Structure 1
């Protein structure tokens, strides 16, 4: 919906203007600044109008009694119900604005007000009477919130680049975050690539008062209850129950005073959302949907099918309009721009596609887009879930020496297809490790040995003594659960917030579009949490209950098609037609002078990837993205087209 920024402390008010101007892309419909010099506080806002398009809904917004000032990013889907409750208590506010209910809700319920919200949000409320700042982030971190503490006080914003407008924010690389970015493609938890900048964790709130800052977890993720150490499941839930709940959630999330469109890949999750949207409106043809298509043979050679074929069939089934957005290897040339908007160095082609789709949607008049993100994470749709299930069975049937022998055989197979090579490598690694190690290793895009190969000698030593990261801490929270549910817990609270949800928010907002994720509604998380594992993954078939539910609406060959990720032919690009582009970045004098990576190690990785000995394509992409990010965020060399 918007971009927010602010400070508490001894800062120059001019800084606030710089902070909100650098994220002007998040709010093309208006902006505002509020400061109290005496109290040492400032709030700024960029507006993307979605609910209540009038000037009365502009921000920063003061409560009717003048006590509170708020900046808010997101949508509150149940704001009308909350408004009725507040009216009954005698509060006065603009009933047409979801922002306007938040300050009286805080006055009525204090910090517990966040537990009443159904929506996606990041906001900050200044209490003039208490001289305190209260800030909160939604249950899964769908909306971003960065902060930093300097000698002058605390700064916060929707994007890291806003914080970096202050000369007090140091730009020292966090080595442990660097290892995560290369290993996983993202950095989980609070860490960013700069030691001084942090993320407010999903489902947490912050209180700043009297020079002290505290953070508190307000959202407790649902899990199956444990009785005598064993999880208890609800076996009464049916596919029809799920379908009814899906329709309810999508209907709630379509609330807007602007046009609402949808992503449609032809996969199960996006098709599910579109099916519920079609039931909500009078004329489904008014729903504009969007799909990526590849040109050339690159996609097929690396296992990426033509989603558009299925998307056309789904669009025809529900009578919605489909718009096709064509992508080629030339799309990689937009990487510097993508890195600028991402704020974090995520080495994934998907952000490029999100920007392309949302730009096309905006050109068609869409301000809101519905996404199927989350279906894989709550109902078990990733291949790594099937692999872990296989590992669990093999662990119970094969002795350790046999599993390790099988792992060695798999890793040595000569395979030219990079996607298959990566999957075989993962399987071999999982077979050779225990369950906890395997749950973490399932996220590796760069093997530890390859990571150490490309690191500089100094960083190799630091890597050897690294501490546990947020993924490992997340794993500790779900002890006692079934292996599959532990893995899904990690997807939701270790993977999604800092990967899919981060790039989806950043690149959609760069196009002036808000993306909503109905499959991640808390009601659906609650529904899925205590389902028996076999209702999610059965006989190697993921999303069992969702597929059964959708049999009433979709052709079976669409429901049971092979899993197709939101990926790209990275190997064909990194060691093919875009190799020189990659080399010019990764092996440049500027990159090597930083002392982070080893030139010979990178050359070896390129050669081994070309020969098929290893699949280092994503590692090479990671190194390229990190260098492009450092040029912009450390060296302050923003691409010319973005300099304004």
Structure 2
């Protein structure tokens, strides 16, 4: 199992009891010194493993495990309520003959487990469970239907029948003598969604303070902290509060295209906050790779996400991670997750109109289902595209699973509170977390917008403050108002332009862009262009694929022909189908 997790350069540690019935293993990048893994107390009463970071109580990473072991001995599992961080924690209590698995409040580190005949196997990656030989690789067709419908699996199921995910703030307790297992939650987001009665001014001040603390918590005193600086507002908000001090060196880095406007914008932001800026350009030719190289990137992303993330950006995510490692970056501060503070930009769950609010309130399942399914070409993504058991469950199972999730939330909450829950519990946990997992295989990634204290405040903040970048603007204005005078590369205007600026700068740029007169900094376009019909055909019409019985050969042929004509956007759906097949080949066919 440990070999399945370890990669070149990783720091590996393991523990086994004298009887050989209990074994723990940890594989770590080795960039940050996290001490001895696993850690046992001097009296050998408690053994601890940690994957992730604890930000409060604040300790030296090398001594964190000792602190956690003491906290557990003092308070038992109740100590979990005191932790702020992103983690998967394993505690072996020798005296109580008990094994405990726990994760953070928002599930930012996946925890997979399976039980059979009184045995428990668990890991942060499904491939390690398969390597144990303790589970049968039986595919769950309903989970497969979920992935092909939504690009994610609602709830705690996985693509394998015998494997479950631990929910956010999950606590699993396993009795080593009886083999009995119990799961619970030590904290529940659904109980913390009530809108705040405090004034907007008080909330904005608290959001500003918690966000500043979130950034400071994530700075490493022993490494260069690279701020991943884009031309957008999320990284600019981090830039407004980040400080390079003798105890925490900060530099900024941007990866983009030669000739792109992003370089000019990010250089101006870095100069304003007084940090060194590196711009690493790549030619468009680097994004027009051979099919085999593109396939290698997609397979790497599938391997690192356990096939649980179905998006068309898989190759780009893996490529970006490789670039970061090639540049020798150790710790990166990124702007992932800023959407939770701007619900009008929350991807599939963006609230843009009064009709959205009405439909969320009156038809929450329909609204959510359509928002998740719409990018995956529902006109073509029908049961007729599939075969056998998958075709039977495709029409109804995904909607039922989504309904089960939504019914767990208080129906009397305002619409934006339901969206906050769905964004964090489903979209963020099933997409962003897996995208970050690809990056974390090579670089230490720190994400201030996902801070516990910041999230606890923002989810209770009214929708009136969570649109139009109001929270971002308030934070920037408090610390670095001059950053609001720097234009955005996407619009060529300042973040909050005047009417005249919209008319004389924004509108001409938008028209010129549509005419192809300006270069746009969108690397996804180049990856999408490389994944042409022949790329998908080589996988989806391979006899190995068709013999598997998931896909209807006639439906696949029709879909590929439609994609070749170029009249419909089928790139995302074809990526979903390809990812499912590659997952089966690389995870199951090799067993």
Task: Verify the 8 A CA contact 1:349 1:567 in the aligned structure 2.
Answer: no
Summarize deviations over 1:142-184 as a string: whole Å, max 9, x none.
Answer: 1221111233611011111111112331111111111111122
Query: Is the 8 Å Cα contact of residues 234 and 532 (structure 1) preserved in structure 2?
Result: no
Give the Å deviation of 1:571.
9.0
* Structure 2 residue matching 1:545: 3-state secondary structure: helix
**Measured at CA, do residues 193 and 375 of structure 1 come closer, stay the same or move farther in structure 2, by a change above 3 Å?**
same
- 1:568 paired with 2:521, answer no
SS, match of residue 555 in structure 1: helix
Q: Which residue of 2 aligns with 1:323?
A: 279
Superposition pairs for residues 172-191 of structure 1, below 5 Å? 172-191=138-157
Matched, 1:213 2:181: yes
After TM superposition, the score normalised by the length of structure 1 is 0.77
Quick check: 1:440 aligned with 2:369? yes
CA distance in 1, matches of 2:459, 2:172: 27
Partner of 2:46: 68
The answer to whether the 8 Å contact 1:28/1:46 transfers is: no
- The change in CA–CA distance for 1:434 and 1:29 in structure 2 (over 3 A counts) is closer
**Aligned equivalent of 1:523, options 444, 453, 460:** 453
Counterpart in the other structure of 2:12: 31
Aligned partner (choices 314, 321, 340) of residue 269 of structure 2: 314
User: Following TM superposition, by how much is the alpha carbon of 1:384 offset from its aligned partner in structure 2, in angstroms?
Assistant: 4.7
User: Does the alignment pair 1:236 with 2:201?
Assistant: yes
1:120 is paired with a residue whose SS is strand
Cα drift, residue 69 of structure 1: 0.9
- CA distance, structure 2, for counterparts of residue 257 and residue 472 of structure 1: 47
CA distance in 1, matches of 2:190, 2:405: 13
1:103 aligns with 2:34: no
CA distance in 2, matches of 1:459, 1:355: 29
Note closer, same or farther for the CA distance 1:225–1:358 as it changes in structure 2 (3 Å cut): closer
Q: Which moved more, 1:461-470 or 1:442-451?
A: 461-470
| 2:228 and 2:335 in contact (8 A); partners too | yes
Q: Identify if the C-alpha distance between structure 1 residues 385 and 151 changes in structure 2 by more than 3 Å, giving closer, same or farther.
A: closer
- RMSD of equivalent CA atoms: 3.2
Instruction: Tell me: CA distance 1:159–1:321, structure 2 relative to 1, closer, same or farther (3 Å).
Output: same
Contact 1:224 1:481 in 2 (8 A): no
> Is the 2:385–2:551 contact (alpha carbons within 8 Å) kept by the matching residues of 1?
yes
Q: Does 1:494 align with 2:420?
A: no
Which residue of the partner structure matches residue 2 of structure 2? 20
Give 1:309 deviation, angstroms: 5.2
Match of residue 43 from structure 1: 24
Query: Is the CA contact (8 Å cut-off) linking 2:146 and 2:397 kept in structure 1?
Result: no
Q: Distance in 1 between matches of 2:440 and 2:356?
A: 41
| Structure 1 unaligned spans of 5+ | 1-18, 84-93, 297-304, 396-429, 638-644
1:192-203 map, 5 Å: 192-203=158-169
Structure 1 match to 2:94 = 128
Does the 8 A contact of 1:273 with 1:372 survive in 2?
A: yes
Distance 1:137 1:451, change over 3 A: farther
Residue in 2 that maps onto 1:77:
55
Q: Could you say what secondary structure the match of 2:226 adopts?
A: strand
Q: Note the residue ranges of structure 2 that are not aligned, 5 or more in a row.
A: 489-494, 498-505, 511-519
Match 1:332 to one of 283, 294, 298: 294
Residue of structure 2 equivalent to 1:423: none
Contact 2:301–2:315 (8 Å) recurs in 1: yes
Are 2:537 and 1:583 aligned?
A: yes
Of 161, 172, 182, the match for 2:127:
161
Aligned partners of 2:341 and 2:471 also within 8 Å:
no
- Would the aligned equivalents of 1:173 and 1:193 in 2 still touch at CA under 8 Å? yes
Contact 1:72 1:99 in 2 (8 A): yes
Paired position in structure 1 for 2:83: 117
User: Cα distance, 1:112 vs. partner?
Assistant: 1.1
2:420 equivalent to 1:484: no
**2:556 matches 1:602:** yes
Contact 1:192 1:344 in 2 (8 A): no
Number of residue-to-residue matches in the alignment: 547
Residues 283, 147 of structure 1: alpha-carbon distance in 2 compared, 3 angstrom cutoff: closer
Asked if structure 2 preserves the Cα contact closer than 8 Å seen for 1:183 and 1:447, the reply is no
Q: CA deviation at 1:217?
A: 1.1
Contact 2:307–2:579 at 8 Å: present in 1 too? no
Q: Secondary structure at the match of 1:45?
A: strand
SS across alignment from 1:237: helix
- In the other structure, the counterpart of 2:503 is none
- Shift of the 394–212 alpha-carbon distance from structure 1 to 2, 3 Å rule, reads closer
Deviation at 1:109, TM superposition (A): 1.2
**Residues 1:555 and 2:484 are matched in the alignment:** yes
Distance 1:198 1:386 in 2: 29
Instruction: Report the counterpart of residue 10 of structure 1 in structure 2.
Output: none
Q: Secondary structure at the match of 2:382?
A: helix
Partner Cα distance (1:225, 1:341) in 2: 32
Aligned to 1:391: 355
Q: Counterpart of 2:23 in 1: which secondary structure? A: strand
From 270, 274, 277, the equivalent of 2:239 is 274
Q: CA-to-partner distance for each residue in 1:459-517, whole Å, 9 max, x for gaps?
A: 22222342656543332314222222321221011111111112212x12322x22121
Does the alignment pair 1:461 with 2:392? yes
Give the Cα–Cα distance (whole angstroms) in 2 for the partners of residues 578 and 312 of structure 1. Answer: 35
Q: Given that residues 290 and 325 in structure 1 are in contact (C-alpha distance below 8 angstroms), is that contact kept between their aligned partners in structure 2?
A: no
Instruction: Label 1:153 to 1:313 Cα distance change in 2 as closer, same or farther (>3 A).
Output: same
- Output aligned runs, 1:334-413, within 5 Å: 334-380=297-343, 381-382=345-346, 384=348, 389-392=353-356
* Structure-2 separation of matches of 1:466 and 1:42: 37
Compared CA separation, residues 39 and 251, structure 1 to 2 (3 A): same
Maintained 8 Å contact 2:541/2:553: yes
SS of the equivalent of 1:34 reads strand
Q: Structure 1 residues 348 and 281 mapped into 2: Cα distance closer, same or farther (>3 Å)?
A: farther
